[in-house]
Amino acid sequence: MAMGYPTLLLVLLGTLAIADANYINNSVYDTRIAPEDRVMVCYYGTWAVYRPGKGKFDVEDIDVNICTHIVYGFACLKNGKIASYDPWNDLYDNYGKGAYLRFTGLKEQNPNLVAILAIGGWNEGSKKYSQMAKTQESRAKFIASCVEFLQKFNFDGLDLDWEYPSQRGGAPEDKVNYGLLLEEMRPVFDEHGLLMTAATSPGKQVIDPAYDIESMAKNLDIMNLMAYDYHGAWDNFAHVNTPMYQHHLDVEEPNIWFNVDYTVQYYISLGFPANKIALGTASYGRCFTLQKSDDHDIYSPAPQAGAQGPYTREPGMLGYNEICEKFMQQEWTVVRDEETLVPYCFQDRQWCGYDDLDSLTIKINYAIQNDMMGAMIWSIETDDFQGLCHDEAFPLIKHIRRELLGGGDVTIPTPPTPTTTTRDPSLPTLPPTTSTTTTPAPPTLPPTEVCHREGLNTDPQDCHSFYECHTVGDHWEYFHFQCSAGTVFVEELQLCDFEAAHPDLC
């Protein structure tokens, strides 16, 4: 039987989050943001269209009334210009699905909705962006291509998700060139009425060498602060991926920096205005396979990623929709950690840290108290978008939006949970293994095995999936995609088609 989290505990945690004046610094802000002016930025990971069953999510599944800004992820950089990442899904060309225009067409249902196109992301890397930003000429070429591209598909702005300047194959001068890119982009975008936003790292070890904060503060309309992925299976120990505050075992760098409060206050201390920050939240959990089933605290040894979910199918990660379904179907123990102020759950050797309604209440309260611009979520398609676990669809996003608007008589749907327990205060003394990245690198395969042409290539090991391949210099860059259930990839057609129509492919 599903149980709600104790109301008393929610009140207690909320009090802990807002009562200590050391956590709040309103003296640096000139103005307060009215509730109706706070933003709710929702990213859409478009590869969700290839997920199976109840996890499949297409443009038309977006609720146009719960977000102020919707962000399409992602476009890519090709030959120094912005380009479609997945032409078959993005464009109408060659019998494509035309998701770009369908996405911006959602504004017809809600004229106040802002539709933004994100370029970059983890899989894009940094090297080509470093090359693009290197000279005034190459920056101008990129900026002009963005204006043309955004106008062609009716987007309202660009979200620059370069991960990250001066990192992952970038150059030390990227920090300066990133600032110049924003400086030169601003007047051109203003001329055409386009917004400029950027997704930024939460890690101090990335922030310092990557970002020209002065240029960002001056030129960005919104900074989408990715305050998640502080921890994951790459750590080899269990930890929550979105800690609000520091855990007492976070005693070494960079782990002492890996919490929302530190990240926000660090950006503010560098001069970035809080009233331009959308606080990032996660509608997914980072998951681990514990070394021992009876050792399940934060920092317990976890040598492997958690088991993949039925929809996202990525080891070490579960969408909130997958987590809440597990709670409905199985017996899991949920612990509400009183230091990080976020929950984690475990069953046998499986362990996941995630955000729920209660922890999001604390974070949005924090954002409001710090006069931040609003909130951001990655991503809309891993919320409980069908309302299978709650009494409404998109419960996380709707709850955040209500809190941003001032709360009041908001009724929080009862989350489906098993028996809730209190964290055991006797924590292990395992020293943390430091990590220099806040996001796991995707797996790689030998390119000669998967890429034999520019564009889409059949997965040689699975007829139900395919690779998108691009030549970058003298090597291939490639990304893996899955066809929808019941379909196979037909390379001659460059699309996924019904399996029954192609019996010889598998």
Which active-site residues does the annotation give? 163
Using DSSP, state whether 117 is helix, strand or coil: strand
Phi-psi region of 229 (alpha: psi -120 to 50; beta: other; left: phi over 0): left
- Please state the φ and ψ torsions of residue 495, each to the nearest 5 degrees: -160, 170
3-state secondary structure of 328: helix
Nearest in space to 483 (alpha carbons), one of 54, 53, 51, 86: 51
Q: Which of 203, 75, 190 is nearest to 142 (CA)?
A: 75
For residue 225, give every residue at least 6 positions away whose Cβ sits within 8 Å of its Cβ, in sequence order, or none: 200, 202, 263, 264, 267, 277, 278, 279, 280, 376
Taking Cα atoms as reference points, which of 341, 368, 373 lies closest to residue 355?
Answer: 341
Give the whole-angstrom CA distance, residue 179 versus residue 166: 12
CA–CA separation, 87 and 146 (whole Å): 17
Helix orientation angle between 357-369 and 395-404, rounded to the nearest 10 degrees: 30
